[in-house]
């Protein structure tokens, strides 16, 4: 029983990490808070629903296609949004930076309402994962294992991208000192755009992965944003590993909290957030210099 | 390039423009009260309530430099506490209603104290995320606490105040209240306390060095603004005889923020102009297109990119060019 809850916590941690990592990376590199982060997540869910349900009549192939295509579509949208809007705001006042993401939240939620209506949409778990798998004496839903595996794989991939590739080196340089990087001939604009692309790809992936477990609703955007904020507030903005640690913490708190008081798991997350802020106002892994 | 401090008090402070604007808004307000049709009065009252909401928000946003995304929570709590006291506990007489209103505003203030104690210690980005998250929490509580708030059915049948049942009377009273609150907020903005807030906004470190208690002043501004938002919420509850969860939603908070920026955060009357224009847009757009929220979103993006100083900055620039 506890083992099953642990795996369930691990599964939600994987989703939370994919969801929040992008928000944290964008802030770390571009110093921009994208409030519309959850809107990309919701859009990914609805797009995945349409591809699986409408084009492939809810088949396994449909899910696979959605898993490959939707994150790319979301990343493309993210890049377009960065080039058209956010690129012009990196130097701007916080309030002016926040405003366009509010506009985006309105735009995307209105679009989703217009195209998909107000109903909750979901898809079936792909048949490969429909059987529970016996792990250490407990039967774990196969799809949990798939999410955990994907989350782990992507974490390693992100680590590799940031720490072991030339692109990652430039990104780290830009994050550490934008002006120095610019002076050394780093194309900072392209760095920002590509970081936006990676971040929105991650959030798109999270949206597709969660869809068989949780329905897509017109309110999913803000729910996802609040989840992502909780992760980065606890972990520390701009720190990917803070996001990983905090996603694990929140995933576990949610999974075990449900055993104690089923209706108020969200309250646990807020209490955790309050405690962390009182002890470390910049989050567990954040720096307090701003 | 668009830092807020840049647009404070332009070289030719257009007093002429300001006086003409204030006179025009006041005259229009009185004219609507005397001549307006029932529909116009209803819309104008909604605008008045929203003006108070946006003005109080600007004490936090424009004056103190804290981008709050949970202002709707204080508005909704004001309205709901008033409504719950009337509907569930029968505080319906004149005295009961007055006591309910006082308690409702007190509730908003207490909530702001609780939230403020937690968040006035964190930096910009955390402040924004936390206020948004806590605002959503209040929204969820209102939505789920069906027995008390009526949940998504709304809290309906609020008796309100017997003397204010007539739309025109209510409008007139609301007009006087909002104008008085505006004067009061203006006094606060131009007081030593208000100037200290501006100093904190522009440079918290320097403000701390010259002896301004940064955290307490931020908290005080946050709480004070919440009190005015609570009053606006009480007005909403009395006027519509009901409260609905969307009063606490992210959209309500965002609307306030948009109105503030649309008018110009660095102008005391910016939120007033912004709120009026915003409400007129949101009345007009749904008649033109089904996708009015998208249009609003697009307008917001364009305003942020093209006129970050807001309409009043634009008007001031236009006016100074005309006089040259």
ipTM of the complex model: 0.87
pLDDT at residue A289 is higher than 50: no
- C-alpha closest to that of B115 among B232, B254, B223: B223
Nearest C-alpha in A relative to B117: A278
Give B2's pLDDT tier (boundaries 50, 70, 90): very low
B125 CB neighbours in chain A (<8 A) are: 27, 33, 94, 237, 290
Q: A109-136: buried (b, 16+ CB within 10 Å) or exposed (e) per residue?
A: bbbbeeebeeeebbbebbeebeeeeeee
Residue B4, pLDDT score: 43
Quick check: B274 and B231 in contact, CB under 8 A?
no
In 3-state terms, what secondary structure has residue B66?
Answer: coil
The string of pLDDT tens digits covering residues A95-108 is 888 899 999 999 99
**β-bridge partners, B243:** B155
A225 CB neighbours in chain B (<8 A) are: 132
The string of pLDDT tens digits covering residues A228-237 is 999 998 998 8
Instruction: Give the integer Cα–Cα distance in Å for A108 and A273.
Output: 28
Name the phi and psi angles at B156, rounded to 5.
-110, 165
Instruction: Give the integer Cα–Cα distance in Å for B254 and B257.
Output: 5
Residue B10, pLDDT score: 43
Are the beta carbons of B123 and A290 separated by less than 8 Å?
A: yes
Neighbours of A24 (CB within 10 A): 29
Q: Among B61, B291, B297, select the one facing A104 at the smallest CB separation.
A: B297
Residue B7, pLDDT score: 43
Q: Does A103 touch chain B (CB under 8 A)?
A: yes
Instruction: Give the integer Cα–Cα distance in Å for B270 and B257.
Output: 11
Q: Among B61, B250, B301, select the one facing A100 at the smallest CB separation.
A: B301
Residue A287, pLDDT score: 65
Q: Does A80 touch chain B (CB under 8 A)?
A: no
Neighbours of B222 (CB within 10 A): 25
Name which of A199-213, B6-20, B102-116, B172-186 the model is least confident about. Answer: B6-20
Quick check: A112 and A43 in contact, CB under 8 A?
yes
More confident residue, B313 or A15: A15
Residue A197, pLDDT score: 95
Instruction: Give the integer Cα–Cα distance in Å for B298 and B307.
Output: 13
Strands (E), B30-184: 155-156
Nearest C-alpha in B relative to A92: B2
> How far is the CA of B310 from the CAs of B183, B201, B248, B278, B322, in angstroms?
22, 18, 26, 12, 19
DSSP state letter for A121: B
State the average pLDDT over residues B286-294: 85
B294 CB neighbours in chain A (<8 A) are: 106-107, 110-111, 114
Are the beta carbons of B132 and A94 separated by less than 8 Å?
A: no
The string of pLDDT tens digits covering residues A35-83 is 999 999 999 999 999 999 888 887 888 899 999 999 999 999 999 999 9
Q: Does B114 touch chain A (CB under 8 A)?
A: no
Which tokens sit at B129?
């995320």
B4 CB neighbours in chain A (<8 A) are: 93, 95
Residue ranges of the alpha helices (H) in chain A? Answer: 2-30, 37-50, 60-84, 94-116, 142-164, 166-176, 178-183, 188-210, 220-235, 240-260, 265-279
DSSP state letter for A261: -
Instruction: Give the integer Cα–Cα distance in Å for A200 and B169.
Output: 53
Q: What is the mean pLDDT of chain A?
A: 89
Quick check: B132 and A38 in contact, CB under 8 A?
no
Q: Does B61 touch chain A (CB under 8 A)?
A: yes
Contacting residues for B5 by C-beta, under 8 A, at least 6 apart: B202
CA B169 to chain centre: 22
The string of pLDDT tens digits covering residues A187-200 is 888 999 999 999 99
Nearest-CA distance B306 → chain A (Å): 10
Quick check: B124 and A238 in contact, CB under 8 A?
no
Which tokens sit at A252?
């576990």
Give A139's pLDDT tier (boundaries 50, 70, 90): confident
Interface of B with A in 251-310 (CB under 8 A): 251, 254, 257-258, 261, 265, 290-291, 293-294, 296-301, 303-305, 308
Which tokens sit at B159?
């008796």
State the average pLDDT over residues B113-122: 89
Nearest-CA distance B123 → chain A (Å): 7
Instruction: Give the integer Cα–Cα distance in Å for B294 and B287.
Output: 14
Give B150's pLDDT tier (boundaries 50, 70, 90): confident
State the average pLDDT over residues B276-295: 87
pLDDT at residue B12 is higher than 80: no
State the average pLDDT over residues B225-229: 97
B69 CB neighbours in chain A (<8 A) are: 35
Q: Does B137 touch chain A (CB under 8 A)?
A: yes
Q: Does B6 touch chain A (CB under 8 A)?
A: no
Which tokens sit at B228?
């005015």
B299 CB neighbours in chain A (<8 A) are: 103
B290 CB neighbours in chain A (<8 A) are: 114
pLDDT at residue B323 is higher than 80: no
pLDDT at residue B272 is higher than 90: yes
Q: B230-259: buried (b, 16+ CB within 10 Å) or exposed (e) per residue?
A: bbbbbbbbbbbbbbbbbbbbbbbbbbbbbb
The string of pLDDT tens digits covering residues A19-39 is 999 999 999 888 899 999 999
Instruction: Give the integer Cα–Cα distance in Å for B121 and A237.
Output: 15
Nearest-CA distance B294 → chain A (Å): 4
Q: Does B57 touch chain A (CB under 8 A)?
A: no
Q: Is the dihedral of CA B96, B99, B101, B104 positive or negative?
A: negative
Q: Residue B243 is inside which H or E element, if any? A: strand B242-243
Residue B155, pLDDT score: 92
State the average pLDDT over residues A176-194: 89
Quick check: A52 and A89 in contact, CB under 8 A?
no
Q: A28-60: buried (b, 16+ CB within 10 Å) or exposed (e) per residue?
A: bbbbbbbbbbbbbbbbbbbbbbbbbbeebeebb
What are the extents of the domains in chain A?
A: 16-216
CA dihedral B271, B276, B282, B284 (to 10 degrees): -150
Nearest C-alpha in B relative to A229: B129
Quick check: B105 and B230 in contact, CB under 8 A?
yes
Instruction: Give the integer Cα–Cα distance in Å for B78 and B59.
Output: 18
Residue B1, pLDDT score: 36
Quick check: A170 and A181 in contact, CB under 8 A?
yes
Residue B14, pLDDT score: 63
Quick check: A75 and A237 in contact, CB under 8 A?
no
Q: What is the mean pLDDT of chain B?
A: 88
Give B165's pLDDT tier (boundaries 50, 70, 90): confident
Q: Does A290 touch chain B (CB under 8 A)?
A: yes
Which tokens sit at A26?
């964008």
């Amino acid at each position: 029983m506890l083992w099953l809850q642990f795996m369930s916590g691990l599964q939600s941690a994987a989703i939370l990490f994919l969801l929040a990592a992008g928000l944290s990376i964008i802030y770390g590199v571009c110093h921009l808070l994208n409030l519309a982060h959850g809107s990309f997540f919701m859009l990914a869910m609805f797009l995945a629903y349409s591809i699986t349900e409408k084009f492939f009549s809810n088949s396994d192939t449909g899910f696979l296609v959605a898993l490959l295509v939707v994150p790319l579509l979301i990343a493309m949208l993210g890049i377009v949004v960065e080039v058209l809007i956010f690129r012009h705001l990196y130097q701007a006042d916080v309030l002016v930076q926040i405003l366009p993401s509010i506009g985006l939240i309105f735009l995307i939620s209105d679009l989703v309402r217009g195209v998909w209506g107000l109903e909750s949409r979901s898809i079936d778990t792909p048949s490969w994962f429909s059987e529970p798998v016996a792990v250490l004496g407990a039967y774990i839903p196969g799809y949990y294992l798939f999410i955990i595996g994907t989350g782990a794989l992507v974490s390693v991939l992100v680590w590799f991208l940031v720490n072991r590739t030339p692109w990652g080196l430039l990104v780290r340089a830009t994050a550490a000192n934008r002006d120095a990087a610019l002076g050394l001939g780093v194309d900072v604009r392209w760095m920002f755009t590509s970081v936006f692309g990676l971040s929105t790809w991650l959030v798109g992936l999270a949206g597709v992965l969660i869809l068989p477990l949780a329905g897509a609703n017109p309110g999913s955007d803000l729910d996802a944003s609040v989840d992502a904020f909780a992760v980065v507030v606890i972990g520390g903005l701009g720190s990917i590993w803070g996001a990983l640690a905090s996603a694990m913490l929140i995933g576990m708190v949610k999974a075990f909290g449900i055993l104690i008081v089923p209706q108020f798991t969200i309250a646990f997350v807020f209490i955790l957030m309050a405690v962390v802020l009182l002890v470390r106002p910049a989050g567990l892994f954040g720096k307090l210099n701003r | 390039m668009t830092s807020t401090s840049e647009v404070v008090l332009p070289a030719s402070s257009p007093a002429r423009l300001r006086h003409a604007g204030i006179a025009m808004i006041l005259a229009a307000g009185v004219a609507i009260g005397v001549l307006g049709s029932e529909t116009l009065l209803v819309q104008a009252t909604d605008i008045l309530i929203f003006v108070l909401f946006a003005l109080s928000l600007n004490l936090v946003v424009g004056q103190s430099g804290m981008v709050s995304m949970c202002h709707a929570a204080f508005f909704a709590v004001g309205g709901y506490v008033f409504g719950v006291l009337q509907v569930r506990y029968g505080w319906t007489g004149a005295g009961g209603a007055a006591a309910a209103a006082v308690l409702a505003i007190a509730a908003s203030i207490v909530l702001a104290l609780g939230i403020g104690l937690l968040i006035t210690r964190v930096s910009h980005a955390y402040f924004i995320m936390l206020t948004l998250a806590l605002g959503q929490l209040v929204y969820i509580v209102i939505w789920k606490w069906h027995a008390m708030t009526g949940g998504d059915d709304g809290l309906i049948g609020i008796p309100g105040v017997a003397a204010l049942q007539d739309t025109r009377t209510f409008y007139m009273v609301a007009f006087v209240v909002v104008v008085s609150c505006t004067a009061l907020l203006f006094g606060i903005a131009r007081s030593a306390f208000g100037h200290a807030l501006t100093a904190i906004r522009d440079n918290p470190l320097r403000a701390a060095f010259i002896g301004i208690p940064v955290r307490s002043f931020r908290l005080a501004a946050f709480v004070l603004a919440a009190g005015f938002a609570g009053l606006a919420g009480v007005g909403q509850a009395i006027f519509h005889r009901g409260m609905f969860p969307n009063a606490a939603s992210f959209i309500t908070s965002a609307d306030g923020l948009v109105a503030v920026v649309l008018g110009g955060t660095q102008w005391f009357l910016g939120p007033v102009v912004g709120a009026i224009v915003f409400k007129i847009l949101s009345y007009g757009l749904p008649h033109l297109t089904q996708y009015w929220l998208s249009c609003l979103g697009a307008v917001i993006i364009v305003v942020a990119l093209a006129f970050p100083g807001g309409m009043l900055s634009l008007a001031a620039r236009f006016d100074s060019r005309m006089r040259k």
